[in-house]
Amino acid sequence: MTISYYYNNLTQIEFGPGSRRTIADKIKTLGGSKAMVVTDKGVSEAGLLEMVLPGIREAGLDCLTFDGVKQDPSTEVIGEIFELFKSSNADILVAVGGGSSIDAAKGVSLLTANPGPLRQYGGVGKVGAKGRPLIAVPTTAGTGSEVTLFAVLSDLAADLKFTVTSTHVAPDVAVLDPELTLTLPPSLTASTGLDAITHAVEAFTSRISQPITDALALESLRLFYRWLPVAVNSGQNLEARTMVLQAELMAGIAFNNAFLGLCHAIASPLGAHFHVPHGLANAIMLPYVMEYNYPAAAEKYARLADVFGRVPKGDIYQRAKDAVGAMSNFVVLCGLPRKLRDVNAKKELLDKVAEDALLSVQLKFNCRKASVKDIRQILETAF
């Protein structure tokens, strides 16, 4: 047997409790003197900026803050941040927050070296030049955006989401400090964790999975299985927060290379039509998508069952199916809903969701082919 693959990790990683104190040094190393901190109101109201900004200022660096990023950042808000970045003579970006803040900062960095409008960069490899440096500091353990070459942005005028995929938007440095996740509420800890679990499952079973991403995805899932329920139920447990952030990072690096699959293809239109948060959409859909997928990647699914604590029994298909039951139980254990009707999805729009999911580029990487009829049936079961 021969194997061949391409693997990248474009982002330097600084990990550990207190690692936020290295941000000032990173800014200087990257040639910055005035930092623009991009964040959202939730982060600033939770007091997390007080854990980050003093260290930057004490190092003699100038910085200003924009805390107006919202879920699914729009091209309009990114344009606004870019204008502020230019007029204030800032020269480096520091994104502090979840995927929305990090993706917004990726959009701003892009605009510092490439002409607008942003929408033209939707797709793969369309960004011509690398912009000003970006340091990503996640405050949730979910999206993996701190190490990926994807930015998911919204075009409000056209009522659609688009993804920029380019090595030029990968952050230069990711600073992962679990102390910044200690105050994340249980429901968000659970839903963002399930987003990352979906990254690991989809990367592990992707058509372009490879040895390095497999190792990262499996270890990520082992850590999540052991530690996510602890982090959900005792948020102040630093060991649990550390392990969950580590698991999220590994899942991010895995899917940055092996990409995703049918669950993310469905989660995106669920977000667009019903405003279901991304992690929650994945949490609900994942067991149903796994039920559909397991016969196509039985050996891999059997390994997922092992990682989720199932004692191997029966033939390879029975062991693979065990992974589905294990995931379903785990979603409930984390306190998350199991059905689309629990998050105000409308049955009459499920045909449209299925049609939109079919257009997703992620479907190409799913281990089993899916038609619009297959997707509609999965949605029906999940409703």
- Give residues in contact with Fe ion (CB under 5 A): 195
Contacts of 200 (CB under 8 A, 6+ apart): 216, 217, 218, 220, 221, 224, 247, 250, 251, 254, 255
> Judged by CB, which is closer to Fe ion: 122, or 131?
122
> Judged by CB, which is closer to Fe ion: 52, or 251?
251
The angle at the Cα of 154, spanning 247 to 148, to the nearest 5 degrees, equals 30
| Minimum distance of Fe ion from residue 163's CB (angstroms) | 11
Helix (H) or strand (E) run with residue 361 in it? none
| Minimum distance of Fe ion from residue 329's CB (angstroms) | 21
Residue 146 has a CB neighbour count (10 Å cut-off) of 24
| Minimum distance of Fe ion from residue 299's CB (angstroms) | 25
Helix (H) or strand (E) run with residue 333 in it? helix 316-333
- The two tokens of residue 252 are 């991010």
| Minimum distance of Fe ion from residue 119's CB (angstroms) | 21
> Judged by CB, which is closer to Fe ion: 195, or 322?
195
Q: What is the DSSP letter of 336?
A: -
| Minimum distance of Fe ion from residue 191's CB (angstroms) | 11
| Minimum distance of Fe ion from residue 73's CB (angstroms) | 15
Contact predicate 81/38, CB 8 Å: yes
| Minimum distance of Fe ion from residue 282's CB (angstroms) | 6
> Judged by CB, which is closer to Fe ion: 263, or 320?
263
> Judged by CB, which is closer to Fe ion: 85, or 288?
288
Backbone angles phi, psi at 260, to 5 degrees: -120, -140
> Judged by CB, which is closer to Fe ion: 78, or 270?
270
- The two tokens of residue 261 are 């699959």
> Judged by CB, which is closer to Fe ion: 56, or 265?
265
Please tell me the chain's helix, strand, coil percentages from 3-state DSSP, rounded to the nearest 5.
Answer: 60, 10, 30
Rounded Cα gap, residues 13 and 79, in angstroms: 28
User: What secondary structure, in 3-state letters, does 49-102 show?
Assistant: HHHHHHHHHHCCCEEEEECCCCCCCEHHHHHHHHHHHHHCCCCEEEEEECHHHH
- The two tokens of residue 167 are 């090595």
In this chain, which residue has its C-beta nearest to Fe ion? 195
